[in-house]
Amino acid sequence: MSSKSNVDYIVDFFSEKFLSDKGYDLPASVVKALNDIDRAERGELKSRLFNEAKRLGQGSDAVKAIRWLENAFDLIEKNSFRMHEVLFSPGQDIPENIAFHISRATKTLDLCVYTISDELLGQCIKAVHKRGVKVRLITDNNKMHDTGSQVKDLARAGISVKVDNSKYHMHNKFGLIDGRIAFTGSYNWTYTAKAFNQENLVITTNYTIVHAFANEFEQLWDQMFTLRVKQRRDGRLHASISNGTVHLNADAIVSPDDEDEHHFIPQLNPTANTQDYKTRAARKAFFKNKKNNAQRFDKKEKKDNRPDNDIEE
């Protein structure tokens, strides 16, 4: 696209098509430029196209200029991707929308989330990675040790994972899809957040917001430690972290929340028998009485009855 601004590039493209009698669509480079401009630049683009129509329509070409302008606006509207959604939990709306949008990623998927223990979202991330999409994950170093955490499994699958190395938490919860969609909110990627918690998620294509989150992700990515996972002979996963200079045994890092939490959801515990709880109907019936199930699967539970270490610090 050389050194031209996105607006200049788009206007020049349409101007070159003025004398064309054949129908045309927008090439990928123009679509990208169109979706990279913000609201102010979009207003500038419309004004520039109006002025260009006036210039091109001088003399006997006035009608042709009007049709050219209408066609330009139609193509811009057709190829402009805009989306703004606000979702709430408990319920399926948030995880289903996250899974849907993640599954449509074509180039990049950048995730910066505090914890991931929702198995279905973990599977969705791996499926995107297998399709060749570049996936990067930033998460909290303590939470990856929680029962049901998908983080080590994702790293073992070949996904690039980085974690913090601090007594504090990497507490962000946002993601970026193809550099065009950003989502963020209070929602943790856990069963508890889906089934019980009052949570929220915002999904947007607003350029300013997407750009801000993209910059923050890159800064964090440069700061964090790379997670490496290997499977031991006994089948257990060994985790280590490194920033190129410091190398640490990540398995020695124990979540400070571990002693205060119980894990009563069998399908999130790889050592538990999950055969009877695979269907949605069975799961719904199983969690109908949360208190009784908590007592059934963990008699040593303390006051916090959350199944997958969904603790907010």
| Positions marked active-site | 171, 173, 178
Residues 53, 65: contact at Cβ < 8 Å? yes
Shortest CA distance to 192 belongs to which of 111, 116, 97?
Answer: 116
Shortest CA distance to 295 belongs to which of 261, 258, 274, 264?
Answer: 264
* C-alpha distances in Å from residue 268, one per residue of 119, 180, 262, 264, 278: 7, 32, 12, 9, 11
The DSSP secondary-structure symbol of 189 reads B
What is the identity of the amino acid at 163? V
Give the whole-angstrom CA distance, residue 245 versus residue 89: 42
Instruction: Please count the other Cβ atoms lying within 10 Å of the Cβ belonging to residue 82.
Output: 10
Shortest CA distance to 156 belongs to which of 243, 240, 222?
Answer: 240
Q: In which region does residue 276 sit, left (phi positive, over 0), alpha (psi from -120 to 50) or beta (all else)?
A: alpha
Neighbour-count burial for 94-113, b at 16+ CB within 10 Å, e otherwise: bbeebbebbeebeebbbbbb
Task: State residue 109 phi and psi, 5-degree precision.
Answer: -140, 110
Shortest CA distance to 163 belongs to which of 231, 217, 248, 221?
Answer: 221
